[in-house]
Amino acid sequence: MIDRIDHIVLTTRDRDACIRFYTGILGMRLEKFTTPTEERLALKFGNQKINLHEWGREFDPRAHVPVPGSLDLCFIASAPLEEVIAKLAGAGVRIMQGPVMKTGAAGPIRSVYVRDPDLNLIEISVPAGPELAQSPAISTSTRSAAA
């Protein structure tokens, strides 16, 4: 019955910091769109988007308790994980954990974990081949980038 996720909604305390993180660091595109009652903002990537709600000014309908920092998202990167790590480090984003092996929707993935400006947990991953899935050095390692 369900085929895919079209969009999710992120509630943010600081719209500008949120937009800078997702566009400037993660490379998403900011899009403005209108509904019959208001103008809205979304972060686009691939065939998906993240609609933005500002905390205390959410659009209806909305989640029962929309709060900043409550999301745990995993994004599949279009670049090698080493490039992702370098980009995060260059932007001063602390890597909380990783690279580590995890299980994604389509199979094994290598991941790093960071926090966005609202403290949502953001996992950035790449598909992992079977040779990496067996590597104990990768599956148990953690690292921090310079903040």
User: Cis peptide leading into 108, omega within 30 of 0?
Assistant: no
> How many angstroms separate the CA atoms of 105 and 125, rounded?
11
Token output for 100: 């580590």
- In one-letter notation, the amino acid at residue 95 is I
The residues annotated as belonging to the active site are 123
Which residues lie closer than 8 Å to 69 by C-beta, 6 or more apart? Answer: 118, 119, 120
